[in-house]
């Protein structure tokens, strides 16, 4: 039997506990079993029939009737909708423990519930988010191919990878580099083959400026960075178009020409994903020895504990993690 998925609880004051509970309640035949790294009492309050386990190997035996949990208790209770920095060390500890379990082969993939970057930062956490933290946790592990982490969002037949992630818009241009664009595209292409089973992936590279810079009249990043990157990648044998104007790149007819887009900044990538499938998008971390997915939304403190949160994106993340783990194991 394959190892289970490792799920992290996320911020205990957010909607993580309830979407995890809902995902377990809505499990279907063929869905991979999972266990949670987190606070068992928080999950009990969300209505989950919790079964503490000592290791991931025990998860499959109880998953049909109970939600298996590696219990790593909070130092003090946290109420839904009331985040606290007192939980920060637990939140990052759950991620680290689940990642170690994946690296050891005890779990087949990592699925993370949402965290609050602001709360973690206030507690001294130095990473911008999950992507970069998991990249550091796996840094010493062997990996064949171009190394990530690269952030991808996927919904339906649209996949987008980000050249920059959580930056102010004013900082994006300075953060772009030729090497960064090359790495993002290479990691994306290898993941499309390794994780999605596409032997000849087709990529598109989005422009940064309106009208792809209008031949330098309204921005020169396309001339100085993006076009040279695309030309270099084509010389390496990658099938890549661009830079293409982002205002038309995501039309249904144009999407048929590629398997993924390299986007220059956060909202350029996430707006089309959420327009296409607001409830079912999945966040993936590419280019690491650990398979990692998450829902494409945040902690939603404003509705936490009120029974309003939808688990669709989290369920999609669980299923995609299981599919990718199966492909990597063959």
Percent of the chain's residues with pLDDT above 90: 96
Convert the pLDDT of each residue in 216-270 to its tens digit: 999 999 999 999 999 999 999 999 999 999 999 999 999 999 999 999 999 999 9
- Distance, in Å, from the CA atom of 258 to the CA atom of 285, rounded to the nearest integer, reads 20
CA distances in angstroms from 188 to 106, 149, 202, 232, 306, listed in the order given: 26, 10, 10, 15, 38
Q: Is the pLDDT of residue 92 over 90?
A: yes
CA distances in angstroms from 157 to 34, 111, 154, 161, 310, listed in the order given: 26, 21, 8, 14, 22
Query: Is residue 60 within 8 Å of residue 4, measured between CB atoms?
Result: yes
Residue 308's pLDDT band (cuts 50, 70, 90): very high
What is the mean pLDDT of the segment spanning 292-310?
A: 96
Query: Is residue 91 within 8 Å of residue 130, measured between CB atoms?
Result: no
Pairing assessment for the beta strands 239-244 and 202-206 based on DSSP bridges: parallel
Q: Is the pLDDT of residue 1 over 80?
A: no
Residue 71 CA, distance from chain mean position:
24
Residue 285's beta-bridge partner residues? 151, 292
Give residue 330's pLDDT. 86
Structure tokens at 95: 């991620």
Convert the pLDDT of each residue in 18-42 to its tens digit: 999 999 999 998 899 999 999 999 9
Q: Nearest Cα to 291, choosing from 97, 20, 103, 69?
A: 103
Residue 170's pLDDT band (cuts 50, 70, 90): very high
Give residue 61's pLDDT. 92
């Amino acid at each position: 039997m394959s190892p289970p998925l490792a799920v992290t609880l996320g911020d205990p004051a957010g909607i993580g506990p309830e979407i995890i509970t809902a995902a377990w309640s809505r499990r279907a035949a063929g869905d991979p079993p999972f266990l949670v790294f987190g606070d068992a009492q928080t999950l009990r309050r969300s209505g989950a029939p919790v079964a503490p386990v000592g290791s991931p190997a025990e998860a499959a035996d109880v998953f049909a009737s109970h939600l298996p949990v590696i219990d790593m208790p909070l130092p003090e209770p946290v109420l839904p909708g009331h985040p606290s920095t007192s939980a920060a060390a637990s939140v990052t500890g759950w991620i680290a423990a689940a990642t170690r379990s994946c690296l050891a082969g005890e779990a087949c993939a990592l699925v993370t519930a949402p965290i609050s970057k602001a709360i973690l930062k206030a507690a001294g956490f130095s990473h911008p988010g999950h992507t970069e933290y998991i990249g550091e946790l796996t840094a010493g592990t062997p990996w064949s191919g171009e190394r990530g982490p690269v952030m991808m969002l996927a919904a339906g037949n649209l996949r987008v990878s980000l050249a920059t992630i959580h930056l102010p818009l004013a900082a994006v241009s300075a953060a772009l580099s030729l090497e960064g664009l090359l790495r993002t595209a290479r990691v994306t292409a290898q993941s499309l083959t390794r994780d999605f089973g596409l032997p000849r992936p087709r990529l598109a590279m989005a422009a940064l400026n309106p009208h792809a810079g209008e031949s330098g009249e309204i921005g020169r990043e396309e001339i100085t960075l993006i076009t040279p990157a695309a030309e270099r990648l084509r010389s390496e044998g990658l099938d890549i178009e661009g830079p293409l104007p982002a205002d038309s790149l995501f039309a249904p007819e144009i999407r048929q020409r590629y398997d993924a887009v390299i986007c220059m900044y956060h909202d350029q990538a996430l707006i089309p994903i959420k327009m296409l499938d607001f409830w079912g998008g999945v966040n993936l971390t590419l280019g690491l020895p650990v398979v990692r997915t998450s829902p494409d939304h945040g902690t939603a403190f404003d509705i936490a504990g009120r029974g309003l949160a939808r688990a669709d994106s989290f369920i999609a993340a669980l299923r995609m993690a299981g599919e990718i783990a199966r492909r990597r194991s063959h």
